[in-house]
Chain A
Amino acid sequence: MDEINSLKLKFEGELKKINSLNQLLNLKIKYLGRQGLINQLTKKIKQIPLDQRKIFGQKINDLKKTIFQYLEKWEKNLSLKEKKEVFIDKTLPGKKYPKGSLHPLTYIIEEIVEIFEKIGFVRLSYPEVEWEYFAFEALNMPKGHPARDDFETFFIQAKENKKYGKMLLSPHTSSGQVREMLRVKSQPPIRMINIAKCYRPNWDATHTPMFHQFEGLCIDKNINISHLKGTINYFVKEFFGKEREIRLRPFHFQFTEPSFEIDVSCGVCQGKGVINQNNKCKVCKSGWLELAGAGMVHPNVLKAGGIDPKKYSGWAFGFGPERCLMMREEVKLDDIRILYENDIRFLEKF
């Protein structure tokens, strides 16, 4: 019996010295293995008097159970401890999640819309397949007018409409101006933004037959040039950065009077037209980049929309999201056609 107790004490003593799972395994074999100390002790049962054998057997079983429990507990502790110590390389990449992309123009359009919604403009949408009337006549460009040349146009094979003329692909978003006036039943206020696809028959490094345009239209009582200037100024600073300046230059459009072109100061040469003291800036024209066309809505256009030019006035502008994209400093686009080629290597970058 004492042998059982001393074996237990011996085990407890040895257990305390164990620091690894490996040592623990050896200890387990030493005590519980087939040739282990427990089994050796069991064999001694024959030397025990018959009446004590039962108790002896029970005690050995108890010891076996206790050792087993000890080992299990230590194993758990040791393995936890050992696990903690496994080297983890935190510089390895994390789990990979898919990263798709949006077309760069989607981001540009989203940003433009947000900027204008903040100042109370609503986004509208008008037909891309239009009648000549809305694309030209309503915009003060009667048939045969040379100004129509500036808007070379794709026509559609379809029956001519008696009232509205030929069917075409709208060469500009301005076709939506008179439609918007009619939508509000000729009752201003109007605060419209209209971003849409437009089409003109040109296809080279700086033109694609389909492109986007962004139209702003504001009609109300007492709207004047300073409102147009202020709105464009606000947009340019929000979109391109606080340090950018604008200028309005006189221009001519049939559907606005007065008409302007809007330039924004060049981000590359900071509007100086010169980089590194003497080298001419290749990006801009003497420090300025053309951004948009704009003007005060021509009285004839207001009349076409049923609005009395004596009571109301308004401004309008139009520019290209593609050009805005190209003028962002992050983007270096040398050929605009890539925007519509949908090459995965291009798309993935956004």
Chain B
Amino acid sequence: MNIKITDRWLRDYLDTEATPIEIQKYLSLCGPSVERIYKVDDDFIYEIEITSNRVDSASVFGIAQEAKAILPMFKKRTNLKLNPLKKYKFSLLDKVEDKLDLKIKILDKTICSRFTAIILDNISIKPSFDQIKKRLTHVGIKSINNVVDISNYLMVALGQPVHVFDYDKIGKKTMIMRLSKKGETIVTLDGKKIILPGNDIVIEDGEGKLIDLCGIMGGLNSAIDNKTKRVVLFVQTYNKTFIRQTTMTTGQRTVAATYFEKGLDEERVEPTLVYGVELLKKYAHGQINSRLYDIYPNPYRPRRVDINNALIDRLIGVIINKEKIIEILENLDFSVQQKKEADQLIFQVSVPSYRQHDIHIPEDLIEEIARIYGYHRLPSRLSPPAIVVQDDKLNRMFKIQQKIKYFLKHLGLNEVINYSMIAKKTINQLNLSPKNFLKLSNSISEEIEYLRISLIPSLIRNLENNSGKKEILKFFEIAKVYLPQKNNQPDEIYHLGIAVNTDFFDLKGIIESLLNELNINYRFEIDKQSNELKVLINDQLAGILKKINQYFIGEIKLEILAKNFKLIPNYKPINPFAIIKLDLTLELSEINNFARIKKISFQTSKFLEKIELINLYKNRASFRFYFASDKKNLTEEEAKSELKKISKNLSF
């Protein structure tokens, strides 16, 4: 959460020689991050980020407490001028006779860790005193009237949200705090009617009417208005889990809720209430006219965390002397006892109430010591070397990916990275069934609902989206696909997808040169059912090439390439004997295709080294046959007779 405070307000509590700029710099290094600072009128505004574990510091006084611990480390003399936790005690409250009454019942012991309330009479509602109004405006809170402003002022000053009811609007002068039933309704101060999901902390007035959605927002029916004369000042701490659940499910994300949902300090209720009474007396002519209601069944007993010297040194990496450690902890209001045990020094640290939700284990204290000491004071070291064995399969996988990417780039292809999720529409267009895909249960867009099992749909979209932008498009992507498994995580395997808008032999040529580059033996085979071209490596189906609409797309399983690729190919000594080249023109057809020609030719002649396509006109193809022997020079006549045999075997 982010808060705003002002410099003058901070200096109500803090006496320091540090300038606002210094405060910004030093707090950011050692404590809450002061993201921005700017001047308004005669004051400075600090915008501060408070991490979720430090809601105790989310107030003017909370920042003063941090500053008191941090600034002295930068040799800036700093003291607390005023400590409201020590000053504002219940003992300051006037005792009155002629009391007004409030009946209080808490029906569930787990919902409210401390309940306080007091009634003030003789209130006069009017605009706020200038300074309060100005400060609230500076921190971004709209001024309403003196009483409402005081409740907001208390929250910003001390970090404890408070509520004020109009006493006369509470039907039976009764407050029953309980968990809501599902479907109960309340109209909150902002005029919204809220249908409660159930198990929300609420207050009922004894007549079945809800007057407060606790920790989140008060009810409209008991709100302060211009005629209000008597008020209930109401300060509590709640079970954070309920508050959080209610604010999330109702969508009422109020500032008060962001405090309560993190868990507040029961001990701070007392100074907040007493300070509140002081302000209401001073600025709204209020007079106490009831006894103090304070229900606090389990008062905080300081937690003790023990930490030994050795662990501090081990995790921080430098030795901080014990006097410094104690000074740091005490400046943060921890109290410290030392104990010698064997040759170790143990610090027995007792945790102040407002740090109870944050400090549990020795490492939590080490963070406190290290940050206040200053991370900037720690040396920079590289971690000591160690040998860690990487999985060989994975190693090959990353290596081959990089090789393939650069190779395809140099062939002129463009790499794309697509979202792993695709739209149902895209799946349907390709006649696939969404049932075979994993589906997100809370997607934010129809475009990204199903996890890819193939890269093809995305690549087709890439071609479609770019049509018209460039004439020739050649894309590739290397990414995981997610193949659903029964009752388990999906198989996540890497695929390579290549898509072009040119022609089939462009695609096939890219794939052939890639496989050659990787020194992989492969062969192609036509799938009789789909008429797609299959790529086989070691007789394993490694991928397919196909035409979809006007596009040509290939998809290959990367694992098979990773397994079979060779950095250095097999080398045979160069054949010293002559090679005879002979040409032959053949008519191609479905039954006499090149696959057959190749197969029969090599079966026929043991001297055949390779066949090259040199010309293609319609279905007439001229091939060049290379003949050679590794034992002697073949004569032209011998080669011709080989070709004759081949030719004969090729005829039907």
> Which residues from chain A sit less than 8 Å from chain B, CB to CB?
98-103, 105-106, 110, 113, 119-125, 127-131, 144, 146-147, 150, 154-159, 161, 167, 169, 184, 189-192, 197, 199, 201-203, 208-210, 218, 220, 222-227, 229-231, 233-234, 247-252, 257-261, 285-286, 296, 298-299, 313, 315, 339-345, 347-348
Contact = CB atoms under 8 A, between A and B. Distances in A.
A127 to B, nearest CB: 6
Given A100-B415, A128-B420, A226 B440 contact: no
A120 B261 CA distance: 43
Interface of B: 24, 28-33, 35-36, 51-54, 241, 244, 261-262, 314-318, 361, 363-364, 366-367, 370-371, 375-376, 378-391, 394, 398, 402, 405-406, 408-421, 438-445, 448, 451, 462, 465-466, 469-470, 473-475, 480, 482, 487, 489-490, 492
Contacts of B30: 250
Q: What are the 3 tightest A-B residue pairs by CB atom distance, in nearest-first order?
A: A98-B412, A224-B317, A258-B367
B376 to A, nearest CB: 6
A146 B260 CA distance: 12
A157 B388 contact: no
Contacts, number: 236
Contact of A146 (B262, B414, B444): B262
A209 B448 CA distance: 9
Given A155-B440, A347-B415, A119 B382 contact: yes
B440 A231 contact: no
10 contacts: A102-B409, A113-B398, A197-B480, A210-B421, A210-B448, A247-B375, A250-B51, A251-B51, A257-B366, A342-B465
Contacts of B469: 343-345
A226 B317 contact: yes
A261 B417 contact: no
B380 A298 contact: no
Contacts of B411: 98, 100
A231 B492 contact: no
A257 B363 contact: yes
A303 B590 CA distance: 65
B417 A105 contact: yes
A48 to B, nearest CB: 52
B443 to A, nearest CB: 7
A157 B440 contact: yes
A226 B381 contact: yes
Given A106-B405, A129-B490, A209-B444, A344 B390 contact: no
Nearest to A161: B487
Contacts of A286: 24, 36
B83 to A, nearest CB: 23
Given A252-B51, A257-B364, A100 B408 contact: yes
A248 B28 CA distance: 9
Given A156-B439, A224-B314, A225-B315, A106 B415 contact: yes
Contacts of B35: 285
A191 B383 contact: yes
A228 to B, nearest CB: 8
Interface centre among A102, A167, A197, A223 (most CB of B within 10 A): A102
Contacts of B408: 100
Contacts of A347: 414-416
A144 B245 CA distance: 9
B317 A128 contact: no
Contact of A229 (B361, B378, B390, B417): B378
B439 A129 contact: no
A102 B406 contact: yes
B363 A299 contact: yes
A150 B388 CA distance: 32
Given A100-B474, A124-B394, A167 B421 contact: no
Nearest to A288: B28
A234 B383 CA distance: 11
B391 A127 contact: no
Interface centre among A146, A229, A343 (most CB of B within 10 A): A146
A166 B617 CA distance: 60
A166 B364 CA distance: 30
B492 A128 contact: yes
A157 B417 contact: no
B379 A230 contact: yes
Nearest to B383: A227
B548 to A, nearest CB: 18
A344 B262 contact: no
Contacts of B417: 103, 105, 339-340, 342
Nearest to A339: B417
Contacts of B480: 128, 197
Given A98-B410, A100-B415, A155-B440, A197 B376 contact: no
A100 B386 CA distance: 39
Given A209-B448, A218-B383, A100 B409 contact: yes
A105 B479 CA distance: 13
B378 A123 contact: no
A261 B33 CA distance: 10
B420 A210 contact: yes
Nearest to A342: B416
A189 to B, nearest CB: 4
A161 B30 CA distance: 42
B414 A101 contact: yes
Given A98-B410, A191-B388, A208-B419, 18 more contacts: A100-B414, A103-B417, A110-B402, A123-B394, A127-B489, A144-B241, A147-B52, A154-B440, A154-B443, A189-B388, A209-B444, A209-B445, A229-B378, A231-B382, A234-B382, A299-B361, A313-B314, A315-B383
Contacts of A210: 419-421, 448
Nearest to B372: A250
A298 B33 CA distance: 22
Given A203-B444, A296-B363, A298-B363, A226 B318 contact: yes
A125 B382 CA distance: 23
A199 B482 CA distance: 14
A106 B413 CA distance: 14
A155 B440 CA distance: 6
A167 B473 CA distance: 37
A14 to B, nearest CB: 48
A85 to B, nearest CB: 37
Nearest to A251: B51
B415 A252 contact: no
A247 B363 contact: no
Contact of A201 (B370, B442, B492): B442
A227 B318 CA distance: 11
A295 to B, nearest CB: 9
A330 B423 CA distance: 34
